[in-house]
């Protein structure tokens, strides 16, 4: 990071994330609504800090936050928190904020470890590139929510099997059927967004270079992501998988999404750098 201000903001983000995770974890263990409320407040503070950080970086780099690998992971974390805050305002599902905080912390920590120095990547900021990146990030948000619902499903299902549900922390969760439905619907939203984002990206590269880009690691893994989620949705719709098997299949697909976003895009792809 460059500049004392940026460093201070970044450290404040990491500390605030840790505090929010701790508060949500206390609520998870002991059903402490006060801790949960304070956790949401701290998460809102994280959102404000990330907003300041992204604005400051955009001012310095003169580009939108998803055109550099330095900012893309932080921007994705910011989007996750935005969705979580909106859900808490209009449609609260217990423990979603805990997993959102955990995921966001992972992304910010990854950014701090990998991007020790600013790497300004000058990329044309045409409308198609803007649509490609923004729609792709929206698909990742939908897949992240779907994975969170699957994790909650597995935790609640395990609590029911061990007969700890009535006295445990998961009694506030929706029913297993609802969690399975939420996971399915979130993935159902994410898949077409992924395809649309890939189409925009293909057209943009074709206009830029005069050819289509096929043999790039991130594109190939994105196709694998599409296949995995298409199979999950098809099997789930046909009733061939439900419950625990469906949740595990959904999480497997999400692990490939995260590997594509954090590892393939950063270290393997020759064209994509985040």
Distance CA 41, CA 148 (A): 21
Residue that terminates a domain, selected from 115, 136, 160: 115
pLDDT of residue 3: 54
Of 20-34, 215-229, 246-260, the one with minimum mean pLDDT is: 20-34
How many distinct structural domains can be found in the chain? 2
Are 43 and 97 in contact by the 8 Å Cβ rule? The answer is yes
pLDDT of residue 118: 44
Same domain, 151 and 41: no
28 pLDDT exceeds 80? no
SS3 of 57-75: the string is HHHHHCCCCCCCHHHHHHH
1 pLDDT exceeds 50? no
Confidence grade of residue 6 (pLDDT, cut at 50, 70, 90): low
Distance CA 159, CA 167 (A): 10
Same domain, 167 and 266: yes
Of 22-26, 73-77, 210-214, 248-252, the one with minimum mean pLDDT is: 210-214
- What share of the chain has pLDDT > 70, as a percent? 77
Query: What single-letter DSSP state applies at residue 4?
Result: H
Same domain, 25 and 105: yes
- What share of the chain has pLDDT > 90, as a percent? 24
Query: What single-letter DSSP state applies at residue 266?
Result: I
Tokens 């217990």 — which residue? 94
Same domain, 146 and 251: yes
Query: Which residue has better confidence, 211 or 101?
Result: 101
Q: pLDDT per residue over 142-195, tens digit each?
A: 999 999 999 999 988 888 887 665 555 666 778 899 999 999 999 999 999 998
Range of the domain at 32: 1-115
Residue that terminates a domain, selected from 115, 144, 170: 115
Across the range 10-28, mean pLDDT stands at 84
Residue that terminates a domain, selected from 81, 115, 149: 115
Query: What single-letter DSSP state applies at residue 94?
Result: T
Query: Which residue has better confidence, 67 or 106?
Result: 106
Burial class for 58, CB neighbours closer than 10 Å (0-12, 13-18, 19+): middle
Same domain, 33 and 128: no
Same domain, 80 and 175: no
Distance CA 208, CA 70 (A): 23
What's the whole-number average pLDDT of the chain? 80
**Which residues are CB-neighbours of 27 under 8 A, at least 6 positions away?**
33, 35, 36, 39, 95, 98, 169
Same domain, 176 and 250: yes
Same domain, 75 and 133: no
Of 85-94, 176-185, 236-245, the one with minimum mean pLDDT is: 85-94
Same domain, 101 and 29: yes
């Amino acid at each position: 990071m460059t500049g004392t201000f940026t460093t201070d903001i970044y450290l404040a983000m990491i500390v605030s994330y840790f505090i929010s995770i701790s508060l949500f974890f206390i609520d998870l263990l002991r059903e402490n609504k006060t801790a949960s409320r304070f956790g949401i407040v701290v998460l809102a503070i994280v959102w404000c800090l990330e907003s300041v950080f992204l604005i400051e970086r955009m001012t310095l780099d003169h580009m939108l936050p998803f055109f550099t690998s330095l900012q893309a992971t932080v921007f994705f974390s910011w989007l996750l928190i935005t969705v979580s805050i909106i859900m808490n305002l209009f449609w609260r599902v217990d423990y979603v904020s805990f997993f959102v905080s955990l995921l966001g912390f992972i992304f910010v920590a990854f950014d701090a470890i990998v991007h020790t120095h600013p790497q300004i990547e000058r990329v044309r900021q045409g409308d198609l590139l803007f649509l490609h990146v923004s729609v792709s990030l929206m698909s990742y948000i939908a897949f992240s929510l779907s994975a969170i619902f699957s994790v909650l499903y597995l935790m609640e299902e395990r609590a029911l099997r061990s007969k700890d549900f009535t006295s445990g922390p998961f009694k506030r969760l929706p029913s297993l059927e609802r969690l399975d439905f939420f996971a399915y619907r979130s993935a159902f939203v994410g898949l077409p967004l992924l395809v649309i984002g890939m189409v925009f990206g293909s057209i943009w590269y074709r206009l830029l270079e005069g050819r289509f880009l096929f043999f790039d690691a991130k594109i190939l893994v994105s196709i694998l992501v599409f296949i995995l989620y298409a199979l999950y949705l098809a099997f789930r719709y046909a009733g061939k998988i439900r419950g625990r098997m469906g949740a595990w299949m959904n999480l497997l697909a999400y692990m490939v999404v995260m590997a594509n976003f954090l590892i393939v895009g950063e270290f393997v792809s020759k064209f994509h750098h985040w």
